[in-house]
Each structure stands twice: as structure tokens, then as C-alpha cells.
Amino acid sequence: MSESLDKVPDVDIDDHGKFKYVLIKVFDERKNVFKHIVRGYLGHERHYEIYREVAFKVDTIRDLRTSCVGGGKIEHDPDKKTIKVYGYSVDFGMADHELSVSLLKKKYPDHTIIHIDES
């Protein structure tokens, strides 16, 4: 695909808790390819704060640019091995939760991961 894109993990979320998340499209402008990534962290009141933090880091990698394609919330319980994806972002609209779940399943194959599409 792209050496630059390979430097960006598909999923980075906090280990435990209920928090906002964003689904981001990362473009390699030189190779004209892209991938989606999921980012979710405790302590952010707005989705754009997460996006801004991630975009700043990703944009330092040569040829990569980002676009936030939606958001929501994640409830991650590592003790029960469950992840629930739901909700939407006032800033970016509702993420494609099915896509987010498919990415999460790659990182957490031993978890039960569900999504609820609600607005």
C-alpha cells in the first residue's frame, strides 16, 4: 500500500472506559491511496479535540493528510472483553460504525464488539 500509511496504526483507543472516538481517513497524497483509522481517548470533551491531536501527529509524516469522517462513543471493558460503538459527533456527524467495528476486531479479536446506529 504505502510505507507512510504503514507507520499509522489502524486503531488506538484507551484501555478502559467510556469515551468519544473519531473515524479518520488518512491519505497518502504521493501514492494516491488511503486507509481509515479509529482513535478514541478519555479526557476529551469534543471530537474535534481528538481529531486535532491525531491530525497534528499524522501530518508530520511525509505525504500524509487526514480528514475526519465521523465520530461517536466507545465503551471498552477489557475485563468483560467487550467494546460497544455507538452515537455520533456534533462536530463531524455519525461515523460508519460498521467500518469502525471491523477495524477494532482486527486489534481485539478476543473481544465481543457491537455497534448501535443511533442519532
Which of 16, 36, 44, 47 does the annotation list as catalytic? Answer: 47
Is-catalytic flag, 76?
Answer: no
Cα torsion 29, 57, 60, 63 to 10°: value is -10
DSSP state string for 14-51: -SSEEEEEEEEEEEETTTTEEEEEEEEETT-SSHHHHH
Which has the closest alpha carbon to 26: 103, 112, 98, 109?
Answer: 103
Question: Would you say 73 is a known binding-site residue?
Answer: no
Beta-sheet pairing, 11-13 with 17-28: unpaired
Question: Which residues are designated catalytic?
Answer: 47
Binding site, by residue number, is 20
Binding site for substrate, by residue number, is 20
